[in-house]
Amino acid sequence: MKKRVYLDYSATTPLKQEVLDAMLPHFNASFGNPSSIYTYGRESKNAIDNARDIIAKSINAKSDEIFFTGGGSESDNWAIKGIAYGNKHKGKHIITSKIEHHAVLHTCEYLEKEGFEVTYLKVDEYGLVNLQELKEAIRSDTILISIMFANNEIGTIQPIKEIAEIANSKQVYFHTDAVQAFGNIKIDVKELGIDLMSISAHKIYGPKGTGALYIKKGVKLHQLIHGGAQEKKRRAGTENVPGIVGFAKAAELAHENFDEHIKHLTSLRDKLIAGLKEKIEYIHLNGHPTKRLPGNVNFSIEFIEGESLLLSLDMVGIACSSGSACTSGSLDPSHVLMSIGLTHELAHGSLRLTIGDFTTEEDIEYVINQLPPIVEKLRQMSPLYEKVKGGN
Ligand SMILES: *Cc1c(COP(=O)(O)O)cnc(C)c1O
């Protein structure tokens, strides 16, 4: 079989075998509705309670502060719309950043149409928000600050504790989208001072369509999904029992082997960065050199179109992503890359390689060997590159 190397762990991850094993009985043998009072139901209810305890413990929250959802996007929507509608009597101003995931940005844009005002903080060349600007953006009618923990494209990690301190000192709620951070950075919600936090299972070797929202006790927010009395009457719908069980198993595994996992990712990441820098001219690392996710590599490669690069890499079995327009599903290249000040050309020529637990040294060497000749071949078609080379 042709060699295949998956380097898109920030898009999604494969389910771990232990996760699948934990989930399987809940599809048939133990299929009861958790709301039912007979044994079938109680088994499911116990499985959810146990999962809630595990997720809570993994972020130092209390079990009754964890609410299961249909994934990271739902958690973001619930946190932001929930706080907005639940606190609009206090004010209608929200602060976020320009580099959030679309689940946050598009929710904020929707709320603008609903009469809320949103400040989108800019970021520096590394993707960091400026704390002084954040302070200055807070007004008497600000009800929420939503800043992501770590960015899904460039991997930059924000100063979450400092942001939370600023929010708390002004009595403004603080939500963070920690979908990329969870499982890759140790998170203690109490120590960090976080009020609401979104997490998702499929980014940590769990199933798709399952997530959670951490809601600190006492935080007032409206409900998003109305219906039955599930999740303490705050999120209706028969629980996704297999998904929830799988999510907890994935979180447990992530935290069991945490240091090992981080060491593995970091060493492969640094090897990939060094290898590509050495072999390819005119490339630039996007994101922060040190404050970045352990598995994130993002380069802009000059004189290259991201989509052509992805197609060529796919032909040699390498799966990764780009912030170029064609792949972002719109006419414009990635809003994240534009926000850190890249030109259209550099944003179009971006390549994101994200490493995970199943990535091997051999995979990294394969990419370091395959990518440079592909880049060279594509560059041969660029008149601009010819000119630059000719000038040298
Ligand atoms: C993947 C992702 C989401 C969306 O999570 P889903 O579970 O896919 O809905 C939100 N935010 C970030 C930062 C992500 O990486």
Give how far Cα 183 sits from Cα of 3, 8, 246, Å. Answer: 28, 16, 14
Residue 388: the pLDDT is 87
- Residue ranges of the annotated binding site are 72-73, 152, 180, 200-202, 238, 326
Residue 383: the pLDDT is 84
The domain covering 258-389 belongs, at the CATH homologous superfamily level, to: Aspartate Aminotransferase, domain 1 (3.90.1150.10)
Asked if 324 contacts 349 with a C-beta cutoff of 8 angstroms, the reply is: yes
- CB-CB neighbours of 86 under 10 Å: 17
DSSP 140: T
Domain boundaries, the chain: 17-256, 258-389
Distance CA 243, CA 199 (A): 13
Verify whether residue 326 is a known catalytic residue. Answer: yes
Tokens of 145: 């600050």
- For ligand 1, is residue 231 a contact (CB within 6 Å)? no
- For ligand 1, is residue 184 a contact (CB within 6 Å)? no
Distance CA 262, CA 188 (A): 17
Pairing of strands 66-69, 211-215: antiparallel
Residue 91: the pLDDT is 98
Nearest to 83 by CA among 226, 233, 220, 176: 220
> Best substitution site from 8, 10, 73, 105 to test ligand 1's pocket, by max atoms within 8 Å of Cβ?
73
Distance CA 93, CA 143 (A): 6
Tokens of 164: 């939370």
**What's the 73 CA to ligand 1 centre distance in angstroms?**
6
- For ligand 1, is residue 175 a contact (CB within 6 Å)? no
Asked if 382 contacts 303 with a C-beta cutoff of 8 angstroms, the reply is: yes
Residue 68: the pLDDT is 98
Amino acid identity of 354?
T
- For ligand 1, is residue 100 a contact (CB within 6 Å)? no
Report the top-level CATH class of 17-256: alpha beta
Pairing of strands 142-146, 196-200: unpaired
Nearest to 65 by CA among 234, 257, 259: 234
> Best substitution site from 180, 198, 336 to test ligand 1's pocket, by max atoms within 8 Å of Cβ?
180
- CB-CB neighbours of 271 under 10 Å: 16
Residue 328: the pLDDT is 59
Asked if 267 contacts 295 with a C-beta cutoff of 8 angstroms, the reply is: no
Q: Which residue has the tokens 């044994």?
A: 39
Spatial CB neighbours of 383, under 8 Å, sequence gap ≥ 6: none
Please state the atom number of ligand 1 nearest to the C-alpha of residue 11. 1
Q: Whose CA is nearest to atom 8 of ligand 1?
A: 72
- Termini Cα distance of the chain: 42
Nearest to 203 by CA among 148, 268, 164: 148
Distance CA 282, CA 31 (A): 56
In CATH terms, are 17-256 and 258-389 the same topology?
A: no
Residue 386: the pLDDT is 83
**What's the 204 CA to ligand 1 centre distance in angstroms?**
11
- For ligand 1, is residue 379 a contact (CB within 6 Å)? no
Amino acid identity of 104?
V
- CB-CB neighbours of 390 under 10 Å: 7
Return per-residue pLDDT of the chain as tens, 392 residues: 689 999 999 999 999 999 999 999 999 999 999 999 999 999 999 999 999 999 999 999 999 999 999 999 999 999 999 999 999 999 999 999 999 999 999 999 999 999 999 999 999 999 999 999 999 999 999 999 999 999 999 999 999 999 999 999 999 999 999 999 999 999 999 999 999 999 999 999 999 999 999 999 999 999 999 999 999 999 999 999 999 999 999 999 999 989 999 999 999 999 999 999 999 999 999 999 999 999 999 999 999 999 999 999 999 999 999 998 766 566 789 999 999 999 999 999 999 999 999 999 999 999 999 999 999 999 998 888 888 888 65
DSSP 232: H
State the catalytic residue, choosing from 11, 131, 236, 326. 326
